[in-house]
Amino acid sequence: MFRRGRAQRIRVFLVIAMVPAVAGCWEFVQSLAERDGSYLITGGRWLDVQTGTLVENDCIGIRDGRIVFIGAPPDTAEFLTDFTLQDDMTILPGLIDLHAHYAVDLFGEGRIDETAAYPELFLANGVTTTFPAGEMDPVRMRDLRLAIERGDRAGPRILSSGPYFGSWRRGWDDDAMTADSLRREVDHWAARGAAGFKAKGIRAEHLSVLIDQAHEHGLTVTAHLDSGFGSSVNPRDAIHMGIDRVEHFLGGDMMPADRTAYASLEVFDDFEGDALRDIIDLYVSRGVNFDATLSIYGYWGPHDPEMTEYWTDELRFLTPYMREVVEARPRRPVNESFAKMSPIKRRTLKAFYDGGGRDLITLGTDHPSWGRYWSPFAVHRELLALARAGVPPADVFRIATINGARAMGLGDELGSIEVGKLADLVIVRGNPLEDVRAARDPWFVFTQGRMHAPTDLVAMVEGKIGPTDPSGESVWKPGR
């Protein structure tokens, strides 16, 4: 161990003009970091998401995966690697995506969980915690989670969600799913490390049991609900059942049961009326989180260059064969329904924010890719969508960090830069409070004190997604 101030201390300067030098010493620094995981980070500034302000960084100390001090280090501090940041660099808490689909559908025949490249790509984008919000293959995803926890694989913390509960799950049978069988299934996945559950296409009687049994284990439930049309559940009713989070649609009287939620949202225009105000008040009074997933509507609506631009070549993560297949496909047709809903969604989210829901909004991307716009990059499109909806940048990052941590019951461990918390950090160049897009280019990412270079993570997984030739297509299709 090297004491701070002694000649033996190793210093690494993250100076943009010296990037080749930093890259050249990376293997040496990485080997030291993996042995010890202790750091001093000096210079730059860090974002206090509690107050929404940037704080000049005297020093942040990390040991054993946690932040052990902020400010002047004690005389007894011992650290191995000392980073000095440029003045224009900003340290953010690790980003948290609570609708982080690992699923892809490359051939239009159904989704499978992508594990060849997504873990590294999430981390390279500064996403240090993911909740998959329904897994196509929960056993495979559990294996991935455990591999990351062991350090066998680089990737974000995975808060396992287990299988979907409801008709969205392959093989789900409403009539065969009894209260007892639901409880047993919740117990099964809770014992295997699930952090929460996701319902989609679920009946009211099943949702009520799911919520109650999940709460017996101290776990949360989120759901993609509807208006109450047919056998669906209105979010208002789910809130009275005790649900923890709701995705996409606020519900209530703004979505009457004589039509679907989508049909209601397409034509909704009463942003000053009682229906919207009442349902927002219900969320706020019950402390229920809302995950609006704003950016998802932009992928299928009219082309919006600001939202759908590529700031990096995302297609390079496809195998050469798969890239040829994807680039030969015609452009996806515009979904007129989504086109109508996109601006309404933004106004609804801003009304929720203005109505007292700031601390209840979480970030979720909800993007099962078809070969373009990978989910790990979607977090930055969602940050931009929140800003475009009128949320101040400081609160955009509050939503993406501490709100998500608290929604999962992890606010004492994650979501902000505070002494005692796990050292999940993202170092970016620029001021994200002036432009949230500054977060798109992380220089270094820390997960629980472990340091990662995004450039290395990206290089590891180029050309990994999809089959290498037609004979391998079946592996990338469900049920094969």
Q: Is 82 left (phi over 0), alpha (psi -120 to 50) or beta?
A: beta
| Sequence letter at residue 44 | G
* Shared-domain flag, residues 191 and 224: yes
458, part of any domain: no
Output the pLDDT for position 334. 78
* Shared-domain flag, residues 89 and 99: no
261, part of any domain: yes
Under a CB-based contact definition with an 8 Å cutoff, are residues 133 and 247 in contact?
yes
Q: What is the pLDDT of residues 323-362, one digit of tens each?
A: 999 999 988 887 888 888 888 999 999 999 999 999 999 9
Which domain-ending residue is among 407, 424, 443?
407
Low-confidence ranges of the chain (pLDDT < 50): 1-35
113, part of any domain: yes
357, part of any domain: yes
* Shared-domain flag, residues 36 and 129: no
Q: Which residue has the tokens 């996403």?
A: 127
* Shared-domain flag, residues 143 and 262: yes
Q: Which residue has the tokens 């014992």?
A: 191
Residues pairing with 245 in the sheet: 222, 289
* Shared-domain flag, residues 113 and 246: yes
| Sequence letter at residue 196 | G
CATH number at residue 55: 2.30.40.10
Can you tell me the distance from the alpha carbon of 359 to that of 336, in angstroms, rounded to the nearest whole number? 32
Backbone angles phi, psi at 460, to 5 degrees: -65, -30
* Shared-domain flag, residues 50 and 191: no
> pTM value?
0.92
Give the CA radius of gyration of the chain.
22
* Shared-domain flag, residues 58 and 107: no
* Shared-domain flag, residues 388 and 437: no
Under a CB-based contact definition with an 8 Å cutoff, are residues 124 and 454 in contact?
yes
Can you tell me the distance from the alpha carbon of 414 to that of 420, in angstroms, rounded to the nearest whole number? 10
Output the pLDDT for position 307. 80
441, part of any domain: yes
Output the pLDDT for position 10. 39
Output the pLDDT for position 7. 27
CATH number at residue 221: 3.20.20.140
Q: What is the pLDDT of residues 57-105, one digit of tens each?
A: 999 999 999 999 999 877 766 776 888 999 999 999 999 999 999 999 9
Output the pLDDT for position 350. 97
* Shared-domain flag, residues 214 and 358: yes
469, part of any domain: no
Residue 30's domain spans which residues? 10-94+416-452
Can you tell me the distance from the alpha carbon of 267 to that of 361, in angstroms, rounded to the nearest whole number? 23
* Shared-domain flag, residues 83 and 181: no
* Shared-domain flag, residues 152 and 76: no
The total number of structural domains in the chain stands at 2
* Shared-domain flag, residues 431 and 285: no
